[in-house]
């Protein structure tokens, strides 16, 4: 699987980091795929003339990154991509206030506009039926807040899957915790019935445009949906910041209201521009 390479500690990085880079280069060079076996620690120690401790640390690092499966008693193998690694990064950033929920929504918005467009082109008949069923469940949830949020999340999951791009599902899945938080906030029990109906109608419009095979209308409907969500989340974050004495994100438009969004929105339920 390649010639012997002797590692040096003179390049400024740790030996374990060099070992990890060597393994990643080997994976690329050999065009290995998930499930394929990679050289054992013993083999790498021999090939690189590195210490057993440095090699073991490199394998553990690659396992923590979701790249290697190093279960005891088995040869190390490549793992399929694991969104849980990204989930930890996003959760850490949110929990340590390095990003805000508004930032997460902005990122989600960019991803989900694309998923809506692709889903309108590629969704299967079964996925279209499921989307309509989920909207019906969301509308019939009544006072069951948990059911309403679960239906909301499922709608976005199906749309991501229907886009045909596995990266969309992986990224949205990795954002699961902050996505659920924004969904709960967007559909919270304190909102009036008319506000909740407006949110559900927004989901309905997205689904109808996707089911109609209308990529442009699906993007417009999803954009309007996120405009409403951003106004509500940013308002709550601004209120929370004011109450705690922190300075809110300067990009938050404090005077923006859902009425403003509603006036500016297109008639997305008909897919008009």
Per-residue pLDDT reduced to its tens digit, 95-114: 898 988 888 888 889 999 99
The fold of 84-270 is 1.20.120
Ranges of CATH 1.10.10.10 domains, the chain: 9-78
* Numbered ranges of CATH 1.20.120.530 in the chain: 84-270
**Nearest by Cα to 59 from 43, 76, 46:** 76
- Cα distances from 37 to residues 58, 71, 78, 236, in angstroms, run 16, 12, 7, 50
The class (CATH top level) of 9-78 is mainly alpha
| pLDDT (tens digit per residue) in 129-162 | 999 999 999 999 887 888 988 999 899 999 999 9
Provide the whole-model pTM. Answer: 0.71
Tell me the per-residue pLDDT of 242-261, one tens digit each, with 9 for 90 and over. 555 554 455 544 444 444 44
């Amino acid at each position: 699987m390649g010639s012997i390479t002797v590692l040096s500690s003179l390049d400024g990085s740790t030996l374990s980091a060099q070992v990890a880079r060597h393994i990643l280069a080997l994976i690329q060079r050999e065009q290995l795929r998930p499930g394929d076996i990679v050289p054992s620690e013993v083999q790498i120690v021999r090939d690189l003339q590195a210490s057993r401790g440095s090699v073991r640390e490199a394998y553990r690092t690659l396992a923590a990154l979701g790249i290697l499966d190093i279960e005891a008693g088995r040869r190390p193998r490549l793992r399929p991509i694991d969104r849980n690694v990204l989930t930890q990064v996003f959760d850490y950033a949110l929990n340590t206030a390095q990003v805000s929920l508004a930032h997460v929504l902005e990122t989600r918005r960019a991803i989900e506009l694309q998923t809506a467009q692709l889903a309108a082109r590629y969704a299967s008949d079964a996925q279209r039926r499921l989307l309509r069923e989920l909207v019906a469940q969301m509308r019939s949830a009544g006072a069951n807040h948990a059911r309403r949020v679960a239906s909301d999340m499922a709608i976005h999951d199906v749309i991501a899957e229907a886009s045909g791009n596995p990266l969309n599902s992986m990224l949205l899945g990795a954002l699961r915790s902050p996505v659920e938080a924004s969904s709960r906030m967007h559909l919270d029990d304190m909102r009036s019935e008319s506000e909740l109906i407006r949110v559900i109608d927004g989901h309905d419009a997205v689904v109808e445009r996707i089911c109609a095979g209308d990529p442009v209308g699906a993007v417009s409907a999803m954009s309007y949906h996120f405009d409403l969500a951003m106004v509500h989340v940013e308002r709550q974050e601004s209120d929370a910041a004011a109450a705690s004495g922190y300075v809110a994100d300067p990009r938050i438009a404090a005077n923006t209201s859902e009425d403003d969004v509603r006036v500016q929105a297109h008639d997305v339920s008909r897919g008009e521009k």
